[in-house]
Homo-oligomer: A and B are copies of this chain.
Amino acid sequence: MERYKVVIIGSGNVACHLAKVIDKFHHVVQVYSRNIENASNLAVQLHDCNCIDSLNEIEMNADLYLISVSDDAIKDVIDAMPKVKGVVAHTSGSIGIEVLSRKMRHVGVFYPLQTFSKEVEVKLSEVPIFLEASDQQSLSALETLAHALSDKIFYANSDQRQTLHIAAVFACNFFNHLLYLSTEILKEKGYSLDVLYPLINVTVSKAFSAGAFNSQTGPAVRGDINTIHKHIDLVDPSIKEIYQILSQSIIDRHEIHKNI
């Protein structure tokens, strides 16, 4: 495998996770951050890597420039960067490729579908990476990089990435909020969310083995309107509507033909 010279632009959670794994297979020559201390903290963890806080000092002969900054800052980075010959890719799920191609020739998107934080260790090898590129040469470079990191490589244009983001909002952001609402419900009777942990784990396992449609359980899919009404009466006024709308959605999708 060809060993690329890679420049990492950014020093947040995604940049750090990616840089450390890329460092095992390629040469991360430089880390940029507006804050030189952050750049330095990351660079010292990598082999033979320098750090900069000005995009004018960027290494001109790198094969790949990975921009892993907040969505709002991507355009500013491109504006401030000199025009380079290597492949320039960002790691954002919601920003289009065109923000890069206005200025650079070889561009792409390298989007790992995962939430990165300091608290939870992430096995990058299991994280799906979604690629998009302006041309075959750029795509090949991103594929080479991706294959070193993960077993799960997919392709997604901007429209598809948008859809991935929406699906993740449902399955992760909204799910997490349901966990918060459950926490509050349980707290009132003296229990912690922990009592639901085994049930949640099995719910995940079943949804991925048998499919979420076939795995649906609970009052709504049984058409048990009595229990649904009892629950809606009992829950806090702020979540009655959520209970009602999600239950009706289950009833409708499973064609139970009842109204709450």
21 A-B pairs within 8 Å (CB atoms) are namely: A94-B227, A122-B202, A123-B198, A128-B198, A159-B189, A160-B190, A162-B230, A167-B191, A169-B243, A170-B182, A172-B200, A172-B217, A173-B250, A174-B250, A176-B203, A177-B216, A181-B249, A183-B211, A183-B213, A200-B204, A241-B245
A119 surroundings in chain B (CB, below 8 A): 206, 209-210
Separation in Å of the A212 CB from the closest CB of chain B?
4
Name the one of B114, B201, B205, B239 contacting A249, with C-beta atoms under 8 angstroms.
B239
- Cβ of B128 and Cβ of A180 under 8 Å apart? no
Given contacts A159-B189, A165-B231, A173-B216, 9 further A-B contacts (CB under 8 A): A94-B227, A163-B189, A169-B218, A170-B243, A171-B200, A172-B218, A177-B250, A179-B207, A193-B212
Name the one of B113, B178, B186, B213 contacting A196, with C-beta atoms under 8 angstroms.
B113
A interface size (C-beta, 8 A): 88
Copies of this chain present in the complex amount to 2
Determine whether A168 belongs to the interface, using a CB cutoff of 8 Å to chain B. Answer: yes
Determine whether A164 belongs to the interface, using a CB cutoff of 8 Å to chain B. Answer: yes
Question: When chains A and B are docked, how far (Å) is the Cα of A178 from the Cα of B212?
Answer: 9
Which B residue's beta carbon lies closest to that of A235?
Answer: B166
Separation in Å of the A237 CB from the closest CB of chain B?
12
Interface residues of A in 95-119 (CB under 8 A from B): 113-115, 117, 119
Separation in Å of the A248 CB from the closest CB of chain B?
9
User: Given the interface contacts A114-B198, A193-B208, does A171 sit within 8 Å of B178 by beta carbon?
Assistant: yes
- Cβ of A207 and Cβ of B250 under 8 Å apart? no
Question: When chains A and B are docked, how far (Å) is the Cα of A154 from the Cα of B196?
Answer: 12
- Cβ of B204 and Cβ of A185 under 8 Å apart? no
Which B residue's beta carbon lies closest to that of A181?
Answer: B170
- Cβ of B217 and Cβ of A173 under 8 Å apart? yes
- Cβ of B195 and Cβ of A154 under 8 Å apart? yes
A179 surroundings in chain B (CB, below 8 A): 171, 175, 207, 212
User: Given the interface contacts A162-B234, A166-B234, A242-B245, does A171 sit within 8 Å of B154 by beta carbon?
Assistant: no
Determine whether A260 belongs to the interface, using a CB cutoff of 8 Å to chain B. Answer: no
